[in-house]
């Protein structure tokens, strides 16, 4: 009889997505309100347009390579919007009248045109699209998120691609923009054993592209950074102490009424917090713009 021990996975100490990790880094209170209090947020036309464009680009790759034209992408806008409305009927309430909706749908067109300036989809065969990637690190921290696109070359080299419908960030914010892609690169490295050759951000808002080549040492450092971040989240959770950290991003925050920095009051701390291993999780495959 074999006496070899069965290797069990480490106990899960927590789960983190790039969005929730970025929330905590930006403002611990924002993290709490989103991940622990689970406060609802109103869909914004800009964010939903990002989701729409992501959906169109995803569907575009369902077509045979030679048919992936700008006209084909434009033709996908209406059906993709109807599909979104079917899954989230409340989105229809964003528009006062049909003219407003038509103008909003029209605003997706330049973003799609920008995509075609940055890449030629007839020459690409993505390995994965809108793909859930996840890994349980040896520390017990689970990382997961949805990658817009993964390209794998015949040589096995991997490229991680993310679409942003916003404009490219100024230099000082580039590191922040890369945070999300490094997160995915780390997950892929730890699951596939391959360091992605390139991280590519396509900024459709101003037709710009940001690329980066990570290396193993850097990803190992990034892993320790995420573990330290989770330790900080765990300490804040234990102490129920999530402080507001005002910044320019407050202009877009929907939770000012719950934020002491703006004269608001957070809701009572939930008695039953969602599973302690999952408050950092963001499982929705929504455009992360
Ligand atoms: S308004 Fe600003 S400080 Fe307050 S929760 Fe939102 S991001 Fe944080």
CA 267 – ligand 1 centroid, Å: 14
The model's pLDDT over 14-43, given as tens digits with 9 standing for 90+, comes to: 999 999 999 999 999 999 999 999 999 988
Mean pLDDT of 231-251: 95
Q: Distance, CA 30 to ligand 1 centroid (Å)?
A: 6
Confidence (pLDDT) at 171: 59
Cα(261) to centroid(ligand 1), Å? 7
What's the angle, vertex CA 205, arms to CA 202 and CA 209, rounded to 5?
25
* Residue 165 to residue 204: CA distance in whole angstroms: 5
The 10s digit of each residue's pLDDT in 272-281 is 655 444 455 4
* Three-state DSSP string of 106-165: HCHHHHHHHHHHHCCHHHCCCCEEEEEEEEECCCCEEEEEEEEEEEECCCCCEEEEEEEC
> The tokens of 246 are what?
């005002």
For ligand 1, whether the C-beta of 250 sits within 6 Å is yes
Q: How far is the CA of 257 from the centre of ligand 1 (A)?
A: 9
Mutation test residue for ligand 1: of 19, 23, 27, the one with most atoms within 8 Å of CB: 27
Chain segment 165-182, per-residue pLDDT in tens = 877 666 555 677 789 899
Number of Cβ within a 10 Å radius of residue 31: 25
Task: Please give the Cα distance from 193 to 184 (Å, whole number).
Answer: 13
Q: Is the CB of 245 under 6 A from ligand 1?
A: yes
Band of residue 289 on the pLDDT scale cut at 50, 70, 90: very low
CB-count burial class (<10 Å; 0-12, 13-18, 19+) for 102: exposed
pLDDT computed for residue 172 by the predictor: 52
Provide the whole-model pTM: 0.86
What's the pLDDT score for residue 271? Answer: 79
Q: Specify the pLDDT at position 174.
A: 63
Higher local confidence (pLDDT), 283 or 193: 193
């Amino acid at each position: 009889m074999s006496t070899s021990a069965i290797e069990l996975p480490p106990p899960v100490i927590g789960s983190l997505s790039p969005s929730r990790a970025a929330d905590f880094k930006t403002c611990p209170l924002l993290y709490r309100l989103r991940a622990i209090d689970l406060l609802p947020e109103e869909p914004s036309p800009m964010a939903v347009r990002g989701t729409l464009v992501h959906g169109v680009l995803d569907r575009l790759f369902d077509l045979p390579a030679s048919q992936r034209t700008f006209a084909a992408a434009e033709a996908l806008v209406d059906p993709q919007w109807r599909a979104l409305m079917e899954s989230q009927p409340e989105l229809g309430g964003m528009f006062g009248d049909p003219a407003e909706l038509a103008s909003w749908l029209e605003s997706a067109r330049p973003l799609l045109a920008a995509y075609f300036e940055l890449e030629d989809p007839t020459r690409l065969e993505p390995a994965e699209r809108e793909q859930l990637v996840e890994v349980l690190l040896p520390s017990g921290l689970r990382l997961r998120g949805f990658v817009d696109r993964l390209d794998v070359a015949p040589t096995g080299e991997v490229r991680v691609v993310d679409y942003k419908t916003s404009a490219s960030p100024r230099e000082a914010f580039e590191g922040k923009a890369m945070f999300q892609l490094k997160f995915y690169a780390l997950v892929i490295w730890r699951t596939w054993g391959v360091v992605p050759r390139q991280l590519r951000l396509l900024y459709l808002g101003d037709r710009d592209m940001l690329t980066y080549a990570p290396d193993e040492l850097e990803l190992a450092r990034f892993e320790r950074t995420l573990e330290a971040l989770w330790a900080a989240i765990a300490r804040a959770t234990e102490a129920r102490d999530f402080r507001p950290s005002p910044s320019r991003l407050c202009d877009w925050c929907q939770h000012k009424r719950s934020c002491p920095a703006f004269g608001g009051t957070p809701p009572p701390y939930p008695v039953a917090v969602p599973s302690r291993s999952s408050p950092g999780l963001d499982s929705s495959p929504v455009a992360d713009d």
